[in-house]
Amino acid sequence: MAECPPVVVHPPSPSGGRRVTIRGAIAGMAYGPVDLLEFLRRAGLDPDAVRLDGEALIEWRGGGPAVWT
């Protein structure tokens, strides 16, 4: 069974933004890439080393890194 990436960016919310979970815990609501990178930093990940379009770390549901609304 394939393991899920540790970061999941959920589909856009009707009220705006996307819920982000890191290792199964809710990190918060991101309204753009800057918010997502801050959540990653708070989780101890180096945001400068993260590729938002990389599939190994982030699973995008309901649209990729360009979809926020």
Q: Would residue 2 count as lying in a domain?
A: no
Q: Which residues of 14-33 are buried (b: 16+ CB within 10 A; e: fewer)?
A: eeebbbbbbeeeebbebeee
Q: Is residue 67 part of a domain?
A: no
- Predicted local confidence at residue 1, as pLDDT: 44
Q: Is residue 46 part of a domain?
A: yes
Count of the separate structural domains present in the chain: 1
The model carries a pTM of 0.89
Residue 69 belongs to some domain of the structure: no
Q: Does residue 68 belong to any structural domain of this protein?
A: no
Mean pLDDT, residues 5-32: 95
The domain in which residue 47 lies consists of 7-60
pLDDT of 16 strictly over 70: yes
In a domain, 14, yes or no: yes
